Amino acid sequence: MIVQVPNVLNSQQIARCREVMNHTGWIDGRVTAGYQSAVVKDNHQLPENSPEARELGDMIVGSLERNPLFITATLPLRVFPPLFNRYQGGESFGAHLDNSIRQIPGTPLRVRTDISATLFLSAPEDYDGGELVIDDVYGAHAVKLNAGDMVVYPANSLHHVKPVTRGVRLASFFWVQSMVRDDGTRTLLFDLDMAINKVNQALPNHGAVVELTNCYHNLLRRFAEV
Ligand code: NI
Protein backbone atom coordinates (compact mmCIF):
# COMPACT_ATOMS: atom_id res chain seq x y z
CA MET A 1 0.00 0.00 0.00
CA ILE A 2 1.03 3.58 -0.63
CA VAL A 3 0.54 5.90 2.35
CA GLN A 4 1.17 9.62 2.61
CA VAL A 5 2.48 10.75 6.00
CA PRO A 6 2.01 14.53 6.33
CA ASN A 7 4.05 16.87 8.52
CA VAL A 8 6.92 14.54 9.36
CA LEU A 9 9.07 17.65 9.80
CA ASN A 10 8.01 21.11 11.01
CA SER A 11 9.03 24.34 9.29
CA GLN A 12 12.16 24.86 11.44
CA GLN A 13 13.34 21.33 10.70
CA ILE A 14 12.74 21.79 6.96
CA ALA A 15 14.68 25.07 7.08
CA ARG A 16 17.55 23.31 8.86
CA CYS A 17 17.62 20.60 6.17
CA ARG A 18 17.75 23.16 3.38
CA GLU A 19 20.43 25.22 5.15
CA VAL A 20 22.69 22.19 5.58
CA MET A 21 21.99 20.86 2.09
CA ASN A 22 22.67 24.22 0.46
CA HIS A 23 26.09 24.50 2.10
CA THR A 24 27.59 21.12 1.62
CA GLY A 25 29.36 19.02 -0.99
CA TRP A 26 27.29 16.80 -3.28
CA ILE A 27 28.45 13.65 -5.00
CA ASP A 28 27.20 11.61 -7.93
CA GLY A 29 24.09 9.68 -6.87
CA ARG A 30 25.30 6.51 -8.55
CA VAL A 31 27.48 5.67 -5.50
CA THR A 32 24.56 3.94 -3.74
CA ALA A 33 22.96 2.46 -6.85
CA GLY A 34 23.16 -1.17 -7.88
CA TYR A 35 24.57 -1.81 -11.35
CA GLN A 36 21.13 -1.84 -13.03
CA SER A 37 19.94 1.34 -11.28
CA ALA A 38 23.22 3.14 -12.01
CA VAL A 39 22.39 3.13 -15.71
CA VAL A 40 19.18 5.13 -15.19
CA LYS A 41 20.19 7.20 -12.14
CA ASP A 42 21.10 10.83 -12.76
CA ASN A 43 21.11 12.93 -9.58
CA HIS A 44 23.32 14.00 -6.70
CA GLN A 45 23.48 12.88 -3.08
CA LEU A 46 25.02 13.90 0.21
CA PRO A 47 27.87 11.51 1.00
CA GLU A 48 26.50 8.58 3.01
CA ASN A 49 27.63 8.78 6.65
CA SER A 50 28.83 12.40 6.30
CA PRO A 51 28.29 14.52 9.45
CA GLU A 52 25.66 16.53 7.55
CA ALA A 53 23.71 13.45 6.49
CA ARG A 54 23.93 12.03 10.00
CA GLU A 55 22.68 15.20 11.67
CA LEU A 56 19.68 15.50 9.36
CA GLY A 57 19.06 11.75 9.36
CA ASP A 58 18.98 11.61 13.16
CA MET A 59 16.52 14.50 13.18
CA ILE A 60 14.22 12.69 10.72
CA VAL A 61 14.38 9.36 12.56
CA GLY A 62 13.67 11.19 15.84
CA SER A 63 10.55 12.73 14.29
CA LEU A 64 9.43 9.39 12.86
CA GLU A 65 9.65 7.76 16.28
CA ARG A 66 6.96 10.20 17.45
CA ASN A 67 4.76 9.89 14.35
CA PRO A 68 1.79 7.55 15.00
CA LEU A 69 0.76 7.31 11.33
CA PHE A 70 4.28 6.30 10.25
CA ILE A 71 4.46 3.70 13.02
CA THR A 72 1.09 2.08 12.30
CA ALA A 73 1.62 2.14 8.52
CA THR A 74 5.13 0.64 8.58
CA LEU A 75 5.39 -1.23 11.93
CA PRO A 76 9.11 -0.48 11.86
CA LEU A 77 11.73 -2.88 13.15
CA ARG A 78 14.73 -1.08 11.67
CA VAL A 79 15.11 2.20 9.75
CA PHE A 80 18.01 2.66 7.35
CA PRO A 81 19.82 5.95 8.12
CA PRO A 82 18.19 8.50 5.77
CA LEU A 83 20.01 9.51 2.59
CA PHE A 84 19.57 12.83 0.79
CA ASN A 85 19.34 13.66 -2.88
CA ARG A 86 19.05 16.63 -5.21
CA TYR A 87 17.67 16.85 -8.74
CA GLN A 88 18.07 19.91 -10.98
CA GLY A 89 18.81 20.84 -14.58
CA GLY A 90 16.85 17.98 -16.12
CA GLU A 91 18.16 15.29 -13.77
CA SER A 92 15.95 12.23 -13.28
CA PHE A 93 15.96 8.63 -12.10
CA GLY A 94 14.56 6.14 -14.59
CA ALA A 95 12.44 3.10 -13.76
CA HIS A 96 14.18 0.84 -11.26
CA LEU A 97 13.78 -1.40 -8.23
CA ASP A 98 15.49 -0.82 -4.90
CA ASN A 99 17.93 -3.41 -3.55
CA SER A 100 16.32 -5.93 -1.20
CA ILE A 101 19.06 -5.84 1.47
CA ARG A 102 21.11 -2.85 2.61
CA GLN A 103 24.03 -2.89 5.00
CA ILE A 104 24.10 0.05 7.40
CA PRO A 105 27.54 1.62 6.78
CA GLY A 106 30.05 1.12 9.56
CA THR A 107 27.95 -1.56 11.28
CA PRO A 108 27.31 -5.28 10.86
CA LEU A 109 23.56 -4.52 10.69
CA ARG A 110 21.55 -5.26 7.58
CA VAL A 111 18.13 -3.88 6.72
CA ARG A 112 15.68 -5.87 4.62
CA THR A 113 14.01 -3.16 2.55
CA ASP A 114 10.30 -3.93 2.96
CA ILE A 115 9.22 -0.30 2.56
CA SER A 116 10.70 2.62 0.64
CA ALA A 117 10.22 6.17 1.91
CA THR A 118 10.64 9.56 0.24
CA LEU A 119 10.45 12.70 2.37
CA PHE A 120 10.01 15.84 0.28
CA LEU A 121 12.12 18.81 1.39
CA SER A 122 11.41 21.32 -1.41
CA ALA A 123 8.10 23.12 -1.85
CA PRO A 124 6.31 21.75 -4.95
CA GLU A 125 6.02 25.25 -6.45
CA ASP A 126 9.81 25.64 -6.35
CA TYR A 127 10.40 23.13 -9.15
CA ASP A 128 8.76 21.62 -12.23
CA GLY A 129 8.70 17.87 -12.78
CA GLY A 130 10.35 15.68 -10.16
CA GLU A 131 7.26 13.57 -9.47
CA LEU A 132 7.98 10.22 -7.86
CA VAL A 133 5.98 7.74 -9.95
CA ILE A 134 5.18 4.46 -8.20
CA ASP A 135 3.75 1.51 -10.12
CA ASP A 136 1.43 -0.94 -8.42
CA VAL A 137 -1.33 -3.30 -9.51
CA TYR A 138 -3.72 -0.33 -9.82
CA GLY A 139 -1.44 1.61 -12.18
CA ALA A 140 1.08 4.44 -11.91
CA HIS A 141 0.83 6.95 -9.07
CA ALA A 142 2.61 10.30 -9.41
CA VAL A 143 3.54 11.72 -6.03
CA LYS A 144 4.73 15.28 -5.39
CA LEU A 145 4.18 16.44 -1.82
CA ASN A 146 4.60 19.53 0.32
CA ALA A 147 7.93 20.04 2.03
CA GLY A 148 7.97 17.97 5.22
CA ASP A 149 5.50 15.37 3.90
CA MET A 150 6.50 11.79 3.16
CA VAL A 151 5.29 8.86 1.11
CA VAL A 152 5.90 5.22 2.03
CA TYR A 153 5.36 2.40 -0.46
CA PRO A 154 6.27 -1.26 -0.89
CA ALA A 155 9.96 -1.47 -1.75
CA ASN A 156 9.27 -4.06 -4.43
CA SER A 157 7.42 -1.44 -6.53
CA LEU A 158 8.92 -0.32 -9.81
CA HIS A 159 9.37 3.47 -9.54
CA HIS A 160 11.03 6.46 -11.17
CA VAL A 161 11.56 10.19 -10.68
CA LYS A 162 10.58 12.45 -13.57
CA PRO A 163 13.10 15.00 -14.86
CA VAL A 164 13.31 18.23 -12.87
CA THR A 165 13.04 20.86 -15.58
CA ARG A 166 13.01 24.00 -13.38
CA GLY A 167 14.34 24.71 -9.91
CA VAL A 168 15.74 22.23 -7.41
CA ARG A 169 14.14 19.18 -5.82
CA LEU A 170 15.62 18.22 -2.45
CA ALA A 171 14.46 15.05 -0.71
CA SER A 172 15.43 12.41 1.78
CA PHE A 173 14.98 8.75 1.01
CA PHE A 174 15.43 5.61 3.05
CA TRP A 175 14.06 2.16 3.75
CA VAL A 176 12.25 0.44 6.58
CA GLN A 177 12.43 -3.19 7.64
CA SER A 178 8.98 -3.88 9.02
CA MET A 179 8.06 -6.26 11.82
CA VAL A 180 5.50 -7.53 9.28
CA ARG A 181 7.29 -8.26 6.03
CA ASP A 182 4.26 -9.01 3.83
CA ASP A 183 2.62 -5.90 2.40
CA GLY A 184 -0.83 -7.51 2.26
CA THR A 185 -0.74 -8.46 5.95
CA ARG A 186 0.62 -5.05 6.89
CA THR A 187 -2.18 -3.39 4.93
CA LEU A 188 -4.78 -5.50 6.73
CA LEU A 189 -3.35 -4.51 10.13
CA PHE A 190 -3.21 -0.84 9.09
CA ASP A 191 -6.83 -0.86 7.90
CA LEU A 192 -7.94 -2.53 11.13
CA ASP A 193 -6.07 -0.01 13.27
CA MET A 194 -7.54 2.94 11.35
CA ALA A 195 -11.05 1.47 11.66
CA ILE A 196 -10.66 0.90 15.40
CA ASN A 197 -9.64 4.57 15.78
CA LYS A 198 -12.78 5.67 13.93
CA VAL A 199 -15.05 3.45 16.02
CA ASN A 200 -13.36 4.70 19.18
CA GLN A 201 -14.06 8.28 18.19
CA ALA A 202 -17.68 7.60 17.26
CA LEU A 203 -18.41 5.38 20.27
CA PRO A 204 -15.98 6.36 23.05
CA ASN A 205 -15.59 3.77 25.79
CA HIS A 206 -17.61 1.14 23.92
CA GLY A 207 -16.50 -2.26 25.18
CA ALA A 208 -16.09 -3.62 21.65
CA VAL A 209 -13.19 -1.21 21.07
CA VAL A 210 -11.13 -3.05 23.68
CA GLU A 211 -12.06 -6.36 22.10
CA LEU A 212 -11.13 -5.16 18.62
CA THR A 213 -7.86 -3.74 19.95
CA ASN A 214 -7.15 -7.13 21.47
CA CYS A 215 -7.77 -8.71 18.06
CA TYR A 216 -5.35 -6.23 16.47
CA HIS A 217 -2.60 -7.09 18.94
CA ASN A 218 -3.21 -10.81 18.66
CA LEU A 219 -2.86 -10.53 14.88
CA LEU A 220 0.31 -8.50 15.36
CA ARG A 221 1.66 -11.20 17.72
CA ARG A 222 0.86 -13.80 15.09
CA PHE A 223 2.58 -12.02 12.20
CA ALA A 224 5.34 -9.86 13.72
CA GLU A 225 9.01 -10.82 13.65
CA VAL A 226 10.99 -8.88 16.25
NI1 NI B 1 14.52 3.87 -5.78
**Is pLDDT above 90 for 95?**
yes
Cβ count within 10 A of residue 207: 8
All structural domains of the chain, each given as residue ranges with its CATH number in brackets, are 3-178 (2.60.120.620), 183-223 (4.10.860)
Q: What's the average model confidence in pLDDT over 152-167?
A: 98
What is the pLDDT at residue 40? 92
For residue 98, report the distance from its CA to the centre of ligand 1, in Å.
5
- Residue 193's nearest CA partner among 167, 174, 215 is 215
Residue type, 224: A
Residue type, 219: L
For residue 25, report the distance from its CA to the centre of ligand 1, in Å.
22
Residue type, 87: Y
Q: What's the average model confidence in pLDDT over 58-86?
A: 97
CA 76 to chain centre: 11
For residue 208, report the distance from its CA to the centre of ligand 1, in Å.
42
Percent of the chain at pLDDT > 70 equals 100
SS3 115: strand
For residue 137, report the distance from its CA to the centre of ligand 1, in Å.
18
State the chain's mean pLDDT as an integer: 96
Cβ count within 10 A of residue 163: 17
Q: What's the average model confidence in pLDDT over 77-93?
A: 96
Identify the helix (H) or strand (E) that includes residue 207. Answer: helix 207-223
Using 50, 70 and 90 to split pLDDT, how confident is the model at 132? very high
Contacts 24+ apart (CB under 8 A), 60-69: 60/8, 60/9, 60/119, 60/172, 60/174, 63/8, 63/9, 63/13, 64/8, 67/5, 67/8, 69/3, 69/5, 69/6
Rounded Cα–Cα distance for residues 123 and 118 (Å): 14
Q: How does pLDDT run across 102-115, given as a tens digit for each residue?
A: 999 889 999 999 99
Using 50, 70 and 90 to split pLDDT, how confident is the model at 75? very high
For residue 104, report the distance from its CA to the centre of ligand 1, in Å.
17
What is the pLDDT at residue 35? 79
- Residue 74's nearest CA partner among 150, 194, 180, 212 is 180
SS3 132: strand
What is the pLDDT at residue 63? 98
**Is pLDDT above 90 for 60?**
yes
Strands 44-45, 27-28: pairing is antiparallel
For residue 125, report the distance from its CA to the centre of ligand 1, in Å.
23
- CA atoms within 13 Å, Cβ hemisphere of 55: 13
For residue 206, report the distance from its CA to the centre of ligand 1, in Å.
44
